[in-house]
């Protein structure tokens, strides 16, 4: 029987990112452990001072060792502090390197993943893992790990000290410690790992839904709704609140008892002292030891709290590493091994089926569509019919589970990543422009483009009116000093970017969705220029924009319902004809018609 491969610990995974700084982490552990021992030495010298004072009382002139013991206590305290500071310095340098390398690896890996991955996992969840999970590893290595070394060494040293002077007092201090450990195990036992996972899941769900809510704020405000209109967001908040309350109530009694026990050592000491001194049996040694243990008791409280948080932090870091690995374990799309030369720019989907998840219904099913070189092909259909999925498959945002997607007669899986990016240009429904200059935004498509090429692309995209009113023309930085563009203007800039790229295949995904009537006319003119020498796949809700398309595919539930030119589809009297009538009715609607 094959032996199951042992999964590496979270610590070994983190050390894999440390590189040459790994030694600093181990050095910090050693120094922090030494600090745990040295920090107890001042108590030893304090005990010597108390013992000497009581022994020479009332003639304190004989107490000759007080100064020496006092200075030794101060020296050990200073050495302990300096050593701990050095341990933290080493730990921080290594921790920053680990967090930095981990974040870089994550971002490099995410860059290789299909664009559809973020939609499937949720952008809020991805953001939280990249920022907060990696940050938690830095906190753990820089602070928690050195404290963990102390939390292990200090109790051992503490137990030795407890039993060196008087085993009876040592036992009295150990009893509440054992009882506190029992309460700690109830809270931070094996079940807490699952609780920690549920807690992080609740936070991620809330983060995801918060992102979606923020994106939908314009709709919410337009229709005068509140947060309650976003049921999923409210539910995620309620679920998080319910979990926290439930877990808090479960831990309430254990936490109260834990706090009571770790702070009750003095009560056991008083009880033992009263028992030992009953009947007038009080001795000098009992008094000295009692005073020492009373002074030493606060160390027990600090140490026990560190031990408790050590177990909690260990679970947090295990969960953080698991979530980071959940992204790193996602396989990127396969690289083209036998790259083939494209023959033209025709696009063809043959028998394509795609599901966003294994248990989901097919977004597209056995789909076959084609667009010849320099043709304009439109995809229309009800919401959720698979239009954007088709565009994503052509751009290889994800791969079809069945069938093939070809450009220029070559399967997109056999086209190199760089060549595919140069072949396909995508204008999104809500095009994003960076807070950089207009020129910089266009150079994303062609980094070596000259100012003349940029100006020509902007002119072809009907952007001259935009550039003329901007203070620095194409060098105007967007988002600065009140320089903002409307949705339609942003789309024209995005189209100019696509023109500059001069890709043989252009995909327009609802590119006029955010354009006002005036901008829509200009966007349409820009389309005319853009589509002169490219194969164009258009996704449209405004049916007037695709009347002159060479072919229109009507999608319904992920399948081709109808196909043909505008007039042919109108004559058929099918789904397209019905959509056209509804569209015509909508654009001719007036406020008075509703009265």
Asked whether residue 228 carries a pLDDT value surpassing 60, the answer given is no
Please give the Cα distance from 527 to 547 (Å, whole number).
Answer: 13
Give the tokens for residue 352.
């394509």
Residue with more model confidence, 277 or 407: 407
Asked whether residue 79 carries a pLDDT value surpassing 90, the answer given is yes
Residue with more model confidence, 589 or 146: 146
Give backbone dihedrals phi and psi of 362, rounded to 5 degrees, phi first: -60, 130
Model confidence at 433, pLDDT cuts 50, 70, 90, reads confident
Give the tokens for residue 417.
């990543």
Long-range contacts at 239-246 (CB < 8 A, ≥ 24 apart): 239/202, 239/205, 239/206, 240/202, 240/203, 240/205, 240/206, 243/198, 243/199, 243/202, 244/199
Residue 393: CA count within 13 A, CB half-sphere? 31
Residue with more model confidence, 158 or 70: 70
Our CA angle for 391, 564, 412, nearest 5°, is: 30
Same domain, yes or no: 450 and 316: no
**CATH number of the domain that 84 lies in?**
1.20.1560.10
145 within domain boundaries:
yes
Residue with more model confidence, 522 or 356: 356
For position 83, what pLDDT does the model report? 92
Residue with more model confidence, 352 or 175: 352
380's torsion region: left (phi>0), alpha (psi -120 to 50) or beta? beta
338 within domain boundaries:
no
380 within domain boundaries:
yes
Asked whether residue 538 carries a pLDDT value surpassing 80, the answer given is yes
Q: What is the mean pLDDT of residues 1-10?
A: 58
Q: What is the mean pLDDT of residues 44-57?
A: 79
Same domain, yes or no: 116 and 263: yes
Same domain, yes or no: 42 and 176: yes
Asked whether residue 293 carries a pLDDT value surpassing 80, the answer given is no
Residue with more model confidence, 188 or 65: 65
For position 86, what pLDDT does the model report? 92
**Cβ atoms 263, 163 nearer than 8 A:** no
For position 3, what pLDDT does the model report? 46
Asked whether residue 95 carries a pLDDT value surpassing 80, the answer given is yes
Which of 328, 358, 389 is the last residue before a domain boundary?
328
What are 250-270's pLDDT values in tens digits? 778 888 888 888 778 778 878
**Cβ atoms 127, 327 nearer than 8 A:** no
What are 442-470's pLDDT values in tens digits? 898 888 889 889 988 888 888 888 888 88
Please give the Cα distance from 170 to 159 (Å, whole number).
Answer: 7
Asked whether residue 513 carries a pLDDT value surpassing 60, the answer given is no
339 within domain boundaries:
no
What Rg value do the Cα atoms of the chain yield, rounded? 35
Same domain, yes or no: 377 and 232: no
Same domain, yes or no: 250 and 369: no
168 within domain boundaries:
yes
Name the nearest CA neighbour of 379 among 290, 511, 486, 467. Answer: 511
For position 222, what pLDDT does the model report? 46
Domain count, the chain: 2
For position 530, what pLDDT does the model report? 67
Q: H/E/C letters for each residue in 267-335?
A: HHHHHHHHHHCCCCCCCHHHHHHHHHHHHHHHHHHHHHHHHHHHHHHHHHHHHHHHHHHHHHCCCCCCC
Please give the Cα distance from 314 to 14 (Å, whole number).
Answer: 13
Same domain, yes or no: 43 and 90: yes
What are 120-136's pLDDT values in tens digits? 666 667 777 788 777 77
Any bridge partners for residue 404, and if so which?
350
594 within domain boundaries:
no
Same domain, yes or no: 565 and 515: yes
Same domain, yes or no: 382 and 501: yes
Same domain, yes or no: 317 and 358: no
For position 351, what pLDDT does the model report? 92
334 within domain boundaries:
no
Asked whether residue 588 carries a pLDDT value surpassing 70, the answer given is no
Please give the Cα distance from 147 to 154 (Å, whole number).
Answer: 10
Same domain, yes or no: 310 and 380: no
Same domain, yes or no: 395 and 249: no
- Percent of the chain residues topping a pLDDT of 90: 7
**CATH number of the domain that 469 lies in?**
3.40.50.300
What are 316-339's pLDDT values in tens digits? 777 778 778 878 887 777 777 777
Which of 284, 300, 328 is the last residue before a domain boundary?
328
Asked whether residue 183 carries a pLDDT value surpassing 60, the answer given is yes
Which of 259, 293, 328 is the last residue before a domain boundary?
328
- Percent of the chain residues topping a pLDDT of 70: 82
Number of H-type helices and E-type strands within the chain: 23, 10
For position 418, what pLDDT does the model report? 80
Domain holding 432, by residue range, is: 347-589
Mean pLDDT for the chain overall: 79
Q: Three-state DSSP class for 532?
A: coil
Same domain, yes or no: 312 and 371: no
293 within domain boundaries:
yes
Model confidence at 163, pLDDT cuts 50, 70, 90, reads confident
């Amino acid at each position: 029987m094959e032996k199951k491969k042992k999964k590496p610990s979270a610590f070994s995974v983190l050390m894999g990112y440390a590189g040459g700084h790994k030694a600093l982490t181990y050095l910090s552990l050693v120094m922090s452990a030494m600090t745990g021992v040295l920090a107890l030495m001042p108590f030893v010298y304090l005990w010597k001072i108390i013992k000497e004072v009581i022994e020479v009382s009332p003639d304190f002139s004989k107490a000759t060792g007080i100064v020496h013991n006092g200075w030794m206590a101060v020296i050990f305290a200073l050495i302990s502090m300096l050593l701990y500071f050095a341990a933290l310095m080493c730990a921080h340098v290594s921790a920053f390197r680990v967090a930095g390398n981990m974040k870089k690896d994550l971002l490099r890996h995410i860059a290789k993943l299909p664009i559809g991955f973020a939609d499937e996992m949720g952008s809020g969840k991805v953001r939280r893992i990249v920022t907060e999970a990696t940050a938690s590893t830095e906190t753990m290595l820089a602070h928690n790990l050195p404290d963990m070394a102390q939390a292990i060494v200090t109790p051992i040293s503490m137990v030795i000290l407890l039993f060196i002077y008087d085993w009876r007092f040592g036992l009295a201090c150990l009893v509440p410690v054992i009882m506190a450990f029992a309460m700690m195990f109830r809270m931070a036992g094996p079940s807490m790992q699952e609780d920690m996972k549920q807690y992080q899941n609740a936070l991620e769900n809330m983060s995801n839904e918060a992102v979606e809510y923020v994106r939908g704020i314009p709709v919410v405000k337009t229709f005068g709704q509140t947060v309650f209109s976003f049921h999923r967001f409210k539910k995620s908040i309620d679920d998080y609140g319910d979990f926290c309350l439930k877990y808090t109530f479960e831990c309430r009694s254990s936490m109260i008892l834990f706090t009571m026990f770790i702070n009750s050592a003095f009560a056991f000491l008083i009880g033992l002292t009263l028992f030992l001194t009953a009947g007038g049996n009080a001795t000098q040694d009992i008094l000295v030891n009692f005073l020492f243990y009373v002074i030493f008791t606060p160390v027990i409280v600090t140490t026990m709290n560190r031990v408790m948080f050590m177990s909690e932090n260990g679970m947090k870091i295990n969960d953080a590493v698991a979530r980071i690995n959940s992204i790193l374990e996602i396989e990127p799309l396969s690289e083209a091994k036998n790259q083939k030369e494209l023959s033209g720019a025709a696009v063809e989907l043959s028998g394509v089926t795609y599901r966003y998840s294994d248990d989901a219904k097919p977004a597209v099913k056995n789909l076959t569509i084609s667009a010849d070189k320099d043709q304009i092909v439109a995809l229309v259909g009800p919401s959720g019919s698979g239009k954007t999925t088709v565009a994503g498959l052509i751009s290889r945002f994800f791969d079809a589970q069945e069938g093939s997607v070809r450009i220029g007669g070559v399967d997109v899986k056999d086209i190199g990543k760089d060549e595919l990016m140069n072949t396909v240009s995508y204008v999104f429904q809500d095009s994003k422009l960076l807070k950089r200059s207009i020129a910089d935004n266009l150079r994303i498509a062609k980094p070596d483009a000259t100012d003349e090429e940029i100006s020509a692309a902007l002119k072809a995209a009907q952007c001259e009116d935009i550039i003329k009113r901007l203070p620095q023309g194409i060098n105007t930085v967007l988002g600065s000093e009140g320089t903002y563009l409307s949705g339609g203007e942003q789309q024209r800039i995005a189209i100019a970017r696509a023109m500059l790229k001069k890709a043989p295949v252009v995909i327009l995904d609802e590119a006029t969705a955010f354009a006002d009537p005036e901008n829509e006319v200009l966007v349409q003119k820009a389309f005319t220029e853009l589509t002169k020498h490219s194969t164009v796949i258009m996704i449209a809700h405004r049916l007037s924009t695709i009347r002159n398309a060479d072919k229109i595919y009507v999608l319904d539930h992920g399948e081709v319902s109808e196909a043909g030119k505008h007039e042919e589809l109108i004559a058929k009297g099918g789904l397209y004809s019905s959509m056209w009538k509804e569209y015509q009715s909508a654009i001719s609607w007036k406020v008075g018609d509703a009265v």
